[in-house]
Amino acid sequence: MRQIARMIAVSLPVSPLAAPEWRALSEDDAQAALKGRELVYGSSAWQEFRTSGRTVCNAGRDSRGYWDVRDGKY
């Protein structure tokens, strides 16, 4: 139960309701926003979106693959 409360408390400050300036991105804009960036998911997981189209995700150990934006999803 404590984990659930912590997840809710952490997610509230970054929810779309708390950020009215958020907007949907086109596929080109989404690709430009992710390319060459690293996203941090919580405190222990991250994902690199390399410009080559390769990706590395780590949630305890590295997982490698490829990324792209298709049908509005990455």
Residue 2 has pLDDT above 60, yes or no: no
* Domain spans, the chain: 24-74
Distance of alpha carbon 74 from alpha carbon 61, whole angstroms:
21
Q: Edge-to-edge, what's the strand order for the sheet holding 62-66?
A: 37-41, 45-49, 54-58, 62-66
pTM: 0.64
Distance of alpha carbon 21 from alpha carbon 35, whole angstroms:
21
Where does the pLDDT of residue 7 fall: very low under 50, low under 70, confident under 90, or very high at 90 and above?
very low
> Could you report the per-residue pLDDT of 24-46, keeping only the tens digit for each?
888 999 999 999 999 998 888 99
Instruction: Give the pLDDT confidence score for residue 57 in this predicted structure.
Output: 95
